[in-house]
Amino acid sequence: MSRLHMATGAARAGASGASLEASDEDQPVDANPRYCPTDLLASFALLMAGHGRCVHTDMMLGDREYAMWQLACARAMDDPELAAIAARLFAYFDDPQHSAMPVLGTA
């Protein structure tokens, strides 16, 4: 990055009075979204596909009821690896306090 570009960016930030630092001090902890690791979710979907079940990962993140159904189906299968991943994912979707809030994926 050139000095001119850095100086221009710093001047803009200073002129607008905006800080480049993020702060969550004004937000209660419960207002922050929960993030589900997408690599774990992708592994879950692939293992379910191996059992002939199609899992829509976007729906898992946006529809708690759908996610819970898929996790329950996974736990009912005779696959220890799938059951372990479903148990780990269950923590992201089974929080009654956040039942109306969608779970977000992380890249």
| Separation of alpha carbons 36 and 94, rounded Å | 12
CA dihedral 89, 92, 97, 102 (to 10 degrees): -120
Task: Establish if 9 belongs to a structural domain.
Answer: no
Task: Establish if 86 belongs to a structural domain.
Answer: yes
pTM of whole model > 0.95?
no
Task: Establish if 18 belongs to a structural domain.
Answer: no
pLDDT tens track for 52-88: 999 999 999 888 899 999 999 999 999 999 999 999 9
Range of the domain at 104: 34-107
pLDDT tens track for 21-62: 555 455 444 444 567 888 999 999 999 999 999 999 999 988
Task: Establish if 68 belongs to a structural domain.
Answer: yes
Task: Establish if 99 belongs to a structural domain.
Answer: yes
Task: Establish if 24 belongs to a structural domain.
Answer: no
The number of folded domains in the chain is: 1
